[in-house]
Structure 1
Amino acid sequence: MKLYRQILLLALTLLVFVSSTGISVGMHLCGGELRDISFFGAEADCPMEQQKEKLPACHKVPASDDKAKDCCDDHTLVFEHADATADSKALILTKPLDLKFVAAFKAVILQFFAPEADLKPTYALYESPPLARDIPVLVQSFLL
């Protein structure tokens, strides 16, 4: 349960971070197939371009062919933070604070963060076993 709670808190933290800052996703398509995905605008080199650079000068094909240029395609998706507070007016709340709601909210929220203590067994009703014989009387020696 504790692991699930930590995973959920991490996922929600990342969601808040991404939604408040925005994210950029770049996709590189080669021959109609997705070859590379990059986040935050970092672009990777195209494998097709790297192969062309490795060829010696005598084997290079002129770059006038339009099909070679159309083989690769780059797409960039940008998700920006939309600031809704800049367009809205300040709203002043005049309703008094509901104490029953605050008490219930506090009880529920504090229950999530309260440490779970292991219950130790108590021996309040434990009675010792009865003695079979009185040992001090058996050990003593009486002089008459």
Structure 2
Amino acid sequence: MLVKVLFQQIASVCMAMLVLLSTVSWTVDKHLCMGRVMDISLFTEADDCDMEKAMVAMGNETMDNHCCDDESFTISGQDDLKLTLTDLELEQQVFLFAFTHTFLNPTASLEEHCVPHQGYPPPLITRDIHLLDQVFLI
């Protein structure tokens, strides 16, 4: 029973994380300096390598910074998660209901049957009745 509860909790956390990760839009921003990755940032803009400040300090304010480059890419998440039970067909609704019912209550329909002769030993066979009466199945 403990394993079942633990499995259900792990499965529910995994499903919640799957929904969260599939609905959030991800943006990764990289700052490259001389072809090398200097900074990577998730959701925000990457920090630069301060090459512009060094050029200002050297007195080259008018010269463009050709060695630095910024790259970013975005993975958009889902926006249409408004699926309701009425969007499913009748056969799908019946299957979903039956599957969840049997998954959550696998032994609900099994009843413990009372066996009245369970504590008594079987009778001892002293003679083989089939041989005595010579009755054989052909």
* TM-score, with length taken from structure 2: 0.48
* TM-score, with length taken from structure 1: 0.46
For CA contacts below 8 A with separation 6 or more, give which structure has more relative contact order.
1
